[in-house]
Amino acid sequence: MDGRKTHAWFLFSVFSRRAGRAALAFAVIYSVVSIAVWRIESSVPDGTIKTLGDALWYTLATLSTVGYGDVVPRSAMGRAVGAAFVLYTLATVGYLLSQLNESVLEVRRMEDEGLIGTRFDAHVVVIGSGPIATAAITELLAADRRVAALCRRSDEIELLRRLGEREVLFVTSGEPTQKLLTERLAVGRATTAVVASGDDANNIVASLNLRAVNKQLRIIVAVENEALRQTLIASGVTYVASPYELSGRLVASAAFEPDVAHFIEDISSGVSGADVQQFAAGPFSSMTVGEVRSKLEELDGPLLVALSRRAGETFELASNPPRATKVRDDDQLIVLGTLEQHARLAQRLRVKQGG
């Protein structure tokens, strides 16, 4: 068992909390009445209830108000017990059905508020609801990734839900505690987390809790204070981005090379136009960079622009690597192309974006 709870489990849990004692009492009384009718009627000469099975069938038919009449008590005592059972069920069954209906509505409300955890696997967790988090969710969904998002307030849930269908986007609200990250966002089964809450202190707490829940998780954090970069890297964060720094560079570039700025803006989005994507280098292992580029040209695929190679706990990026560089099995290829070219590469070589 992987710990994922179904809607049926939540419905049972809610119903048990609401009417568990009443349901248990009803089951006990149902059994007692069945046994009593059987003991009373089994000795009646012309009786139709001779076995416990007959008695259970009689109480079930009485409970459902069907009343087939094939088995009925003949003695005065048996009829008295049956009548008392009918009067009891008139009040109890209605109450239990009303509680069951209320339980169904409560489970639906829990689902709408994201209180029932996601069942996603190999998904991306996004913490935050501001512009950076919204843009990240949009890009991830465009790249066919399933996203489990966490916003701080429940009134922000509907805003994020508009970004995608529930089959690929799960949204809940609350503080990024280890319990919430585990039970609702399934961080233990996620591959990557994007932390962009807009509050650096909250980002640090979220990053530490994410790492505590999943030691293998790739964690990307957007911070306002660039001085926190080294602190976050030391705490196990994979990559730290400073939106203000990136925006400053883009604005400066637009001041004297506007076409370059437009190009960077275009390739940083996977929604339309060109896009920069990352693929595992496994199928190209032992090839040179020149051979990889030739292979990609044969596929009419994207252009290899950089190579990422593991260096201890981090990766070193080589932009426009020399043609003679040997590609290793655990390298990552950074390629530039259209969405169609990326799809062709993924299909022909059976690799997936993101490594």
Please write the tens of the pLDDT for every residue from 78-87: 889 888 888 8
CATH code: domain of residue 233? 3.40.50.720
Tokens matching residue 99: 């509680």
Residue with more model confidence, 276 or 212:
212
Say if residues 221 and 231 touch (Cβ distance below 8 Å): no
Sheet hosting strand 314-319, strand order edge to edge: 274-280, 332-338, 303-311, 314-319
Q: What is the pLDDT of residues 228-280, one digit of tens each?
A: 888 888 888 888 887 766 666 667 777 777 877 777 777 776 555 678 888 88
pLDDT at 270: 57
- CA angle at residue 166 from 160 to 168, to 5 degrees? 95
Residue 224, phi then psi, degrees to nearest 5: -85, -35
Nearest CA among 200, 183, 209 for reference residue 172: 183
Residue 290: inside a domain: yes
Residue 180, phi then psi, degrees to nearest 5: -65, -45
- The verdict on pTM exceeding 0.85 is no
pLDDT at 60: 84
Nearest CA among 163, 161, 145 for reference residue 113: 161
pLDDT at 102: 84
Beta-strand runs (E) in 54-181? 124-127, 147-151, 169-173
71, 92, 112 — which closes off a domain? Answer: 112
* Same domain flag for 20 and 48: yes
* 316: exposed, middle or buried (Cβ count in 10 Å: 0-12, 13-18, 19+): exposed
Number of domain units in the chain: 3
pLDDT at 1: 38
Q: Cα(260)–Cα(62) distance, rounded to whole angstroms?
A: 81
For residue 197, is pLDDT > 60?
yes
pLDDT at 14: 77
CATH code: domain of residue 91? 1.10.287.70
